[in-house]
Structure 1
Amino acid sequence: MKQKTIGLLGGCSNVATAEYYRFLNEAVNTRLGGWEIAETLIAGMNFGNIEAFVRTGDWDGLGRYMKTKIDGLVAGGADVILCVSNTLHKPLEDLMDRGGVPMIHIADPTGVAMSAAGLSKVAIFGTKPVMEMSYLKDQFQHRFEVQAIAPTEEEQCDIDQIIFDELVKNKLKDTSKARYLEIADRMRREEDAEGLILGCTEIFLLIDQDDRPDFPMFNTARLHCEAAVDFALS
């Protein structure tokens, strides 16, 4: 059975990359049945390099590093490319404009889901760049008319620290879960947030929809993978 090959720009983090691989294969098998799974290529980056580039704000260096891996995916025959990190989408769009292979932007499937739910103002959790900078917020606003609002500076520091010190190492702590939910509850109560973007691809491992059934949460990783499977099987 012919499928398009999904290229994963991974390693950012290895935990998220493993979950992407699982999501992709589960989605294909759910649709096709039998023993069918996704056709994939994975280019795994060293998260130590990623962390250093992000912490120092060296987006040009990060872009050059990512380009070597993208080139490998293109040369290997990828028909579409996914980057398994919200944070790394800052340099990615310009790189893919020159790559000759389509990219599915991580914000787009989430934007579609939020629009379908009729939401116009949502909270966004992620790394500091995701929460501070505008590259994802602008995508949600301009393409889907959804305003993504960030937590306070103190809350951003807590969210970011938990991601880098715990989630990317697959450490899941009850105290960290409680802190995330505390912030989400405050933004819902005080800032009229109608939902929450899990804007880091490990966050769903810590909190998910079951924790707040009446407060929509958008798992960017799963939505991204579902869109990729739509493309691969089209």
Structure 2
Amino acid sequence: MHKLGLIGGLSWTSTARYYEIINQTVHRTKGGQNSAPLLIESLNFAEVARCATQDDWDCASGQLIGAAQRLEQAGAKCLLICANSMHRIYEQVQAAVEVPILHIADLVGQKMKAEGVEKAALIGTGNVMKEKFYRQRLVGHGISLLPADMDLADRIDRIVYDELAVGKVSRESERFMKSEMTDIAKEDVQAVVLACTELEMIVDVKANVLPIYDCTSIHAKAGAAFILSE
């Protein structure tokens, strides 16, 4: 099996989910006591989030580039950035290493295109919903997206950074997201893109009217596929 590197801690709660999905996938394929050969560079989320909050993306890219280079030097043959929002600096990080970094939005877009989805709602933190870096990747795969809901983006930011990133799951936030998903289902869309690695903690991706493309699961399974590739 090939060794995969994870740039995690963005937050630790979602990184733990990546670890779980990747190992479950490898075990289902290989059986026995097999588990995934992984290297994890778990960053201090407080420091990275501070950079992003202050819109200092050079600061954030410096931290992720350092992590990527350390993983490459330690023997990782492919990398995942375990956060949708940090793909804003994907190009800078990829340029700093020789090994490939699997882009989360490209993987999601490819899957949606293959399954015939043309119209979707993009749900995530503020920079994912509002900025072009993520939306353009999906549009490049032929996906038309609803305009960003600014109020929803702001509310998700509070839920993610104040609750989910520190392992807190509240019934209020679960109810809020369920209500939002019900409202989105009334729009002219075929699916929802759950473009935040923590939202899976409060959104039941299997119990909604519309299909939900859970970016965490899609990204992690692609990492597992690399590990298992010939």
Q: 1:195 is matched with which residue?
A: 191
Shift of 1:209: 2.4
In the TM superposition, residue 149 of structure 1 has moved relative to its aligned partner by 2.7
Q: Distance in 2 between matches of 1:185 and 1:116?
A: 25
Q: Deviation of residue 103 (structure 1)?
A: 0.8
CA–CA separation in structure 2 for the residues paired with 1:122 and 1:195: 5
For residue 150 of structure 1, report the CA deviation from its aligned partner: 4.6
AA partner of residue 99 (structure 2): V
Letter of the 1:156 counterpart: A
Query: Which residue does 1:54 correspond to in 2?
Result: 52
* Superposition deviation, residue 129 in structure 1: 0.4
User: Under a length normalisation based on structure 2, what TM-score does the superposition of the two structures give?
Assistant: 0.95
Matches within 5 A, 1:126-137: 126-137=124-135
Determine which of 204, 222, 229 is the counterpart of 1:227: 222
Separation of aligned partners in 2, 1:102 and 1:159: 30
* 1:68 to partner: Cα distance: 1.0
- 1:52-91 equivalences in 2 (<5 Å): 52-91=50-89
Matched-pair identity in %? 28
| Distance (whole Å) between structure 1 residues aligned to residue 168 and residue 122 of structure 2 | 21
Aligned counterparts of 1:122 and 1:105: Cα–Cα separation in 2: 19
Matched letter for residue 229 of structure 1: A
Contact 1:125 1:150 survives alignment (8 Å) = no
User: Which segments of 5 or more consecutive residues in structure 1 lack a partner in the other structure?
Assistant: none
**TM-score where L is the length of structure 1:** 0.94
Give the aligned partner of residue 153 of structure 1.
150
Q: Structure 2: which 5+ runs fail to align?
A: none
The code of the aligned residue for 1:90 comes to R
Contact 1:7 1:41 in 2 (8 A): yes
- Mapped to 1, the partners of 2:184 and 2:147 lie a distance apart of 9
The 1-side partners of 2:84 and 2:207 are apart by: 22
CA deviation map 1:107-162 (0-9, x unaligned): 122112211321111111111100110111100111x1012335422121111111
Q: Counterpart of 1:12? A: 10
Runs of 4+ in 1 over 6 A off after TM superposition: none
Counterpart amino acid of residue 224 in structure 1: H
> How big is the alpha-carbon RMSD for the aligned residues of Structure 1 and Structure 2?
1.3
SS of the aligned residue for 1:224 comes to helix
Q: Give the whole-Å Cα distance in 2 for the aligned partners of 1:230 and 1:211.
A: 26
> Residues 156 and 88 (structure 1 numbering): CA distance in 2 closer, same or farther, change over 3 Å?
same
Does structure 2 conserve the Cα–Cα contact (< 8 Å) formed by 1:151 and 1:187? no
